[in-house]
Amino acid sequence: MKARLRGRLFWKILFGFWLTFIMVSQLLWLGFQFYGRNHEPPEHKVARRIVDIQMASAVSVLQRGGLAALNDMMADWQPDDKRFFSVMQVDNLPQETPQPSVMSFDRAATLPDEVVEWVTVADGTHYRLRYDVKGLRNDNDINGGPHPHILNIPMPMFFIAGVGGLLFSLILAWNLTRPMRQLSQGFSRISAGDLEVRLYPDMRGRHDELSVVAKDFDAMVERLSALINSREALLHDISHELRSPLARLQLATGLARQLPDNVEGSLDRIDEEARRLDKMIGEILTLSRAGYDSQPEERYFDLLGLVEAVTDDVRYEAQVPGVEIVLTCDQPADYTVRGNAELIRRAVENVLRNALRFSQQGEQVDVSLRHDTDWLVISVRDRGPGVDSDKLSSIFDPFVRVNSPLMGKGYGLGLSIVRKIVLAHHGEVQAINHKQGGLVLIIRLPHWTASQ
């Protein structure tokens, strides 16, 4: 627990909020002090009202009915109401007799010790009516002397509010710094190579922005783990794929040394394997470069014109195997796309060449381009054997090849390049088996409009 409370931020939040609480209490006290200068305190109002009512009624009854009527009225008073009130008969009035008034002390000043009224009844008898305001004040603790206080706050309130404010600051500081410590520990574990750390399961109960940060943290770790695993798998697959042509190169050089008469055939074999290695390395580089999210030389281009150009090129090659390439599209329509036209061209070309590879003489490859709300959809269907349903999602992985006599001599990188390029352009790619046979590859790219 002590180790957790060593962070500077914890103490800053703790004492910051606690001192803020103290400052607010002082500002409130100053506000009440300034407000009370020109306004009567509420306890003064209560005392003045009590004195005014009792003195006014006593004066009125005494003037009209005499002392007997006043005693009868006072008999109905509560003991607490009449113990501070007294009536005394006097021989003479003072030389300066104040006018009877129920407003006998200043509202904005402190309460006086007593209020006195002089009354002369009809028979000429003089009476002195006195109200012991000091007794009333002490009995009800109205300005009854100074109270112990700290920083202008009464001591009981200071201790209760101070301890409560400190406890509130402690809970708040702990609640804010704990997830930050968890994030710090999580980043430390990631820097040490531990990609199994997850924070959201422990922080999901917060239901605030910090739990969202924890969720994003877990998504980041999962993405890093997937990238590292894919890189390791790619390196493993590359090393595995390079062994075969290198082994054949070594075999060709060995045969050339052992059989001098067959040097020409060995050199042809070496040239063939070198071309395969060059092709493989080129596809690997393309696969690596296609994964960037922001492509260089990004511009706007017409997707329909690009698809038509690629279709014409592949249609020219399809004359040898006798395969027909048919292109259909929604016309007239706008097919503007933002991105790298050369990369998109390579992706479409790889899909068409893949369909051509799995097509036999007399078959047809259907290419379509259409609108789908905010997307432009390219669909390529062949009449080949298709792909097992459990392998559809894996044909876009590097070096994955379908076992088929129509496969040819590819390295399983073409569709991986397609997926990298499409994802880099914020699109989607999908493979499904057609109900009537053959494989359908679907590319979805965002349609750019002028409003964007």
- Do 327 and 367 contact (CB within 8 A), yes or no? yes
Length of the chain: 452
Q: Are 161 and 153 within 8 A, CB to CB?
A: yes
Do the Cβ atoms of 378 and 442 come closer than 8 Å? yes
Residues near 63 by beta carbon (within 8 Å), at least 6 away in sequence: 119, 121, 122
Distance separating alpha carbons of residues 173 and 170, to the nearest angstrom: 5
Torsion sign (Cα): 287, 288, 290, 296: negative
CA distance 30 to 152: 9
Distance CA 174, CA 176 (A): 5
Distance CA 246, CA 253 (A): 11
In degrees, to the nearest 5, what angle opens at C-alpha 25 toward C-alphas 22 and 28?
155
Q: Is the dihedral of CA 301, 302, 303, 306 positive or negative?
A: negative
Q: What is the crossing angle of helices 263-289 and 209-258, to 10°?
A: 170
Helix (H, G, I), strand (E, B) or coil at 89: strand
Burial annotation 248-263 (CB, 10 A radius, 16+ → b, else e) = ebeebeeebeeeeeee
The whole-angstrom separation of Cα 351 and Cα 309 is 14
- Which residues are designated catalytic? 240
Give the position of tokens 């994802």.
423
How far apart (Å, rounded) are the C-alpha atoms in residues 266 and 256?
6
Query: Helices (H), strands (E): how many in the chain?
Result: 11, 12
Task: Please measure the distance between the N-terminal and C-terminal CA atoms of the chain and give it in whole angstroms.
Answer: 53
Neighbours of 341 (CB within 10 A): 19
How far is it, in rounded angstroms, from Cα 182 to Cα 199?
7
What gap in Å lies between CA 336 and CA 339, rounded to an integer? Answer: 10
